[in-house]
Amino acid sequence: MRTKLAAGNWKMNGLKAALSELGEMAAAASGPAEVLICPPVTLVAAAADAAEGLAIGGQDCHAKASGAHTGDVSAAMLADAGAEYVILGHSERRTDHDEHDEDVRAKCEAAWDAGLKVVLCVGESLEEREASNTLDIIGGQLAKSIPDGATGHNLVVAYEPIWAIGTGKVPTTDQIGEVHDFMRARLEKRFGEGVGRSVRLLYGGSVKPSNAGEIFAVSNVDGALVGGASLKAADFVPIIEALNASAG
């Protein structure tokens, strides 16, 4: 059985005052689903101290363990600050920082070396979907950005169609199911059935309290990576509750 995961990506949002949201989120984390918050890096240590019962993660890390990389953060630094996870390959990193699958793969290796679990993001653009290339794109990203050595413990994959992030547009449940079933099959083929079946697959892109229940009912959806609706407990707690309910 895969433990469901509700993951919040705060992106570049949140000053110290935002930590007050964590108490209610932690209270909702007492159900079967695991709850992860990835605040901006400035809040990782404070969030890890403040939020018992919540997992805390970073939103990116450097591929190198240390060195002359001004402004960057290593995986070991995140772990040292109390992070358990790191998001890698988010489409905003791929676009804003020109990150490619090879970069994501190197970062993933660095994260594993530091003992972090990785939430690795994949997803197609609108043009790619409209050209019926979605599965090719996702298959390529999985093959190129996941290093050998993946396990159900060190890897979570998040399917995040770029056109659904922050737009209010959500794929149909059939479209989500098609991609998640495909990702499961690809992971089983590459890593073997045992590992392939144990890696958790999240959906991300405009998840809200109003659509979470139907998304969590889709096959091979083990939770969500949530951006905007993870900033406030009033929005994120109902999503956690919907995931807990789907866990039976």
* 119 lies in the site for ligand PEP, by CB under 6 A: no
Shortest distance in whole angstroms from residue 185 CB to ligand PEP: 24
- In the numeric block, which tokens belong to residue 100? 């490619």
List Cα–Cα distances, 219 to 159, 195, 203, in angstroms: 13, 18, 11
* 205 lies in the site for ligand PEP, by CB under 6 A: yes
d(CA 83, CA 48): 7
- In the numeric block, which tokens belong to residue 113? 């070396």
**Phi first, then psi: what are they for 132, rounded to 5°?**
60, 35
Options 108-116, 176-184, 201-209, 210-218: segment touching ligand PEP (CB under 6 A): 201-209
- Out of 78, 204, 221, 242, the residue judged to bind ligand PEP by CB under 6 A: 204
Render 48-71 in DSSP notation, one character per residue: HHH-TTSEEEES---SSSSSS-TT
Q: 218-237: which residues touch ligand PEP (CB under 6 A)?
A: 225-229
For residue 244, the surrounding DSSP H or E stretch is: helix 233-246
Q: In which residue are the tokens 């000053």 written?
A: 15
List Cα–Cα distances, 41 to 6, 11, 82, 185, 232, in angstroms: 19, 9, 11, 34, 18
Residue whose CB is less far from ligand PEP, 76 or 240: 240
* 160 lies in the site for ligand PEP, by CB under 6 A: yes
Q: Which of 90, 92, 124, 178 is catalytic?
A: 90
Catalytic residue status for 90: yes
Shortest distance in whole angstroms from residue 63 CB to ligand PEP: 21
125 appears as a binding residue in the annotation: no
Shortest distance in whole angstroms from residue 118 CB to ligand PEP: 14
d(CA 227, CA 15): 16
* 165 lies in the site for ligand PEP, by CB under 6 A: yes
Residue whose CB is less far from ligand PEP, 76 or 229: 229
Q: In which residue are the tokens 């996870």 written?
A: 85
Catalytic residue status for 124: no
Catalytic residues: 90, 160
Binding site for ligand PEP (CB under 6 A): 9, 160, 165-166, 204-207, 225-229
Mark the binding-site residues, compressed into ranges: 9-11, 166, 206, 227-228
